[in-house]
A and B are shown apart, each in its own frame.
Chain A
């Protein structure tokens, strides 16, 4: 069953989510990856103001392909989230509500997700054209000089996602394979 959700996600929305849930997300999200995370964190840590409010936002770790004529955006799939781990607990502390990416997170991030009632969504790697289809608008937000790594705001409608890690410590990368192994063993008996 698919859970339909709209941004901004509230704490009430997030506590309903469990690892493994299939979600269709609509509303607005930010795109930021390696260089933007580094600059954002450094600028806030050194006493600067947030270049855009982080509280309540969802960040998609992605670097889209160029936009062909007649399209809203080029293919856009998740990049490996682990590279953003060093910056993530800091952003969660400042109210970041969710992330969209792929791959394992470290313990600090998983703990911070629990502590700050956040959620880590996955978009399936290798479905970039399908994901681009759910993007209805693109707007520049900050760090335009970073080129393909600039911060963008996307308007989205029905983006297909999976809950990878929930606010209870649930992690599909642990429970999914465990469940499969159990299923296979039981069938063999």
Chain B
């Protein structure tokens, strides 16, 4: 529907607040299901125990309304905003940060943001600013996805500037190498977000967006779907297992997101996420204004 749509900035704050609490406390059912499946496949006793502990932890966190992990992450927020939407009473960015501030202080979530990365690593005290990724689309609604991302797995993520001649095998080898180097550090079992194409900065974002794809759903292009399957087989053959204790499941899932790229390049980004793949999303529908 065309015409101007309106919402109040405070509605965004309220939704970001709710989504931040939900994402930190409740592991999505789809993730729990693939963890349960992995536990049932596991033969090593220590690995089985680790999977059971992870599942019990998720249930306990939900029951006690506590965060699943003490690292409540950088607050990554994806915003899909309709170009017909007018936000009244403040900027969208300020409204998002206010929602994060309230959720992290009132919800007993750990604040892990330092203002300066090198010399004055002083905590901002309220986990702001959020990392915000914008997409402008048609319509008069705003869609918000809050995805807290811990640093343990972020630290083990990598970018490669591959050559076109490296082909699918070059991509797969690089992904397996990334997981091998990471070993136990990113809190396996992990989920892999893989961006291919674009340029230096967009490939990383594609990898991050890939992490939000639904569990167990393969890419709609058969060649990429086959690569996702092959990556899972070869990564899991490393035997790293949950906690790095050894086991047949190191990666629970792998998703590829592609972008058009330059004739001379094939960037690759591998964003590792731990099993606490936290995200919650919601939409605010703009009200058609009379003005």
Contacts and interface: CB of A to CB of B under 8 A. Distances in A.
A148 B110 contact: yes
Given A22-B49, A126-B68, A74 B110 contact: yes
Interface string B88-129: 000000000000000000001110000000000001000000
A130 B57 contact: yes
Contact of B152 (A64, A80, A162, A173): A80
Contacts, number: 155
Interface stretch (B2-10, B162-170, B245-253): B245-253
Query: Do most interface residues of chain B lie in helix, strand or loop, or is the interface mixed?
Result: loop
B244 A173 contact: yes
B275 interface: yes
A76 B71 CA distance: 9
A124 B165 CA distance: 40
Most interface-central of A22, A63, A129, A130 (chain B CB within 10 A): A129
A122 B184 CA distance: 11
Interface string A97-134: 00000111000000000000000001011111110110
B237 A184 contact: yes
B277 to A, nearest CB: 10
Residue of B47, B185, B246 contacting most chain A CB atoms (<10 Å): B246
Contacts of B57: 126-130
Given A126-B69, A177-B246, A80 B185 contact: yes
A154 to B, nearest CB: 14
A74 B108 contact: yes
Contacts of A82: 185
A175 interface: yes
A66 interface: yes
Contacts of B46: 20, 22, 162, 172, 176
A147 B123 CA distance: 10
A176 B66 contact: no
Contacts of A102: 152, 184-185, 187, 243-244
Nearest to B275: A126
A68 interface: yes
Contacts of B275: 126
B196 interface: no
B267 interface: no
Contacts of B185: 80, 82, 102-104
B194 interface: no
Given A22-B46, A80-B185, A127-B53, A176 B239 contact: yes
Interface string A125-151: 111111011000000000000011000
A88 interface: no
B20 to A, nearest CB: 13
Interface in A59-105: 62-68, 71, 74-77, 79-80, 82, 102-104
B69 A179 contact: no
Contacts of A162: 46, 50, 243, 245
29 contacts: A20-B46, A22-B49, A62-B70, A64-B110, A65-B72, A65-B109, A71-B66, A74-B108, A75-B66, A77-B70, A104-B183, A104-B184, A104-B185, A124-B242, A124-B243, A125-B152, A126-B187, A126-B276, A128-B70, A129-B68, A148-B110, A162-B50, A172-B244, A176-B244, A178-B246, A180-B239, A180-B246, A181-B237, A183-B44
Closest 10 CB pairs of A and B: A176-B246, A125-B187, A180-B239, A177-B239, A65-B110, A103-B185, A127-B57, A181-B239, A180-B246, A130-B57
Given A180-B246, A183-B44, 13 more contacts: A71-B64, A77-B69, A102-B184, A104-B183, A126-B275, A127-B53, A147-B123, A160-B53, A176-B44, A176-B245, A176-B247, A178-B246, A180-B239
Interface of B: 43-44, 46-47, 49-50, 53-54, 56-57, 60-61, 64-72, 108-110, 123, 152, 155, 183-185, 187, 237-248, 274-276
Interface of A: 20, 22, 62-68, 71, 74-77, 79-80, 82, 102-104, 122, 124-130, 132-133, 147-148, 160, 162, 172-173, 175-181, 183-184
